[in-house]
Amino acid sequence: MTAGSLHEMHMKRCLDLAGLGLGHTAPNPLVGSVIVYNHRIIGEGFHHAFGEPHAEVNAINGVSDKSLLPGAVLYVNLEPCSHSGKTPPCADLIIKTGIPEVVIGASDPNPIVAGRGIEKLEQAGIKVISGVLENQCSELNRRFFTFHNKKRPYIILKWAQTSDGYIDMLREGHVVQQPTWISNEISRMLVHKWRSEEQLILVGTRTAEIDNPRLNVREWPGKTPFRAVIDRKLRLPKSLNLFDNSCPTFVFNELKDMTEDQTQYVRLDFNGSLLKPLIQFLYSRGILSVFVEGGQNLLNSFIVENLWDEARVFIGRKKFDAGKPAPLIQHIEPREYRIREDVLFFYRNQ
């Protein structure tokens, strides 16, 4: 096996480890690390949660015989940090251990790192190889890269539509005032898994009013994200599940700024583009990703403003014959998956 192939093999292991932190590390990235001595992995680790030790620290701590480190190679899917935050700089720890070679997947886009980790390692005489499986490493951390490169959260749209293209049922010209399931129970379980992977769920006024969603993670083990609702005139009743104080909830409105228990009211200007100030606020709060589960109007707003990165669309077998048309994404070919009788379309906005 060539050196390049060995590097890719160990980097794939870093990516596998890094993915175990999904839903727990934000606003930090997903990072995995392995330490190899004489073609054998002697230590490995990943970043478990925000504020906890980084992947390189866990990998080094996992090496039982530290005397092997001066002859080992450390692999990591993202450039080691060079600054003190919740934890000390990983680059300093690597230098201290005497590890002579570091193989990196992708450079860190965070301006406070951005090449400084690599520079620090090289100045200490460590051999650094970077760019190994760089595309895969960037893809895994697409939320983190979008946040730092585009100065906004990574935005995922989700909805379910009937086989005849409707998102809501109409009766006598009005949306039916109760939730109507379109997708099957396995698809709904998958949505709970997705919720656990993101930092915030956003819905609009009508979705909150009609569906009265909890927007938590019940059907999958994981962390419930922050919740957010757009309620321009503050007309939603406090009896809704969104106001149960079970987790932090943002209410975007045009009337007041204040905090009540776990609910924070955020006043925004609704006269221009609502989404841009909303997204800018979330960026300022360090929110890496937004999972939009709104209705037709909210979803279409994101599509029209081209302010989205992924769309996950369930097509159920049910027909409404009449109703609110589902949002439409044009000129992008989706990947298609089958979940029992449902079909899932997965779009990426390039």
Catalytically active residues are 56
Strand partners, 43: 35
Rounded to 5°, the CA angle 174-177-183 comes to 105
Q: Six-digit token pair at 193? A: 């898994």
Say how far apart CA 172 and CA 185 lie, in whole Å.
29
Residue 59 in tokens:
């990998």
Helix axes 116-123 and 90-97, enclosed angle (nearest 10) = 20
CA neighbours within 13 Å on the CB side: how many for 297? 7
Do residues 95 and 124 lie in contact, with contact meaning Cβ atoms separated by under 8 Å?
A: yes
Collect all residues with Cβ–Cβ distance below 8 Å to 324 and sequence separation of at least 6.
166, 167, 168, 170, 175, 295, 296
Beta bridge partners of 289: 154
Contact 208, 215 (CB under 8 A): no
Structure tokens that stand for 82 in this block: 């060079």
8 Å CB contact between 118 and 104: yes
Q: Does the N-terminal peptide bond of residue 27 adopt cis geometry, omega within 30 degrees of 0? A: yes
Looking at residue 137, what DSSP letter applies? H
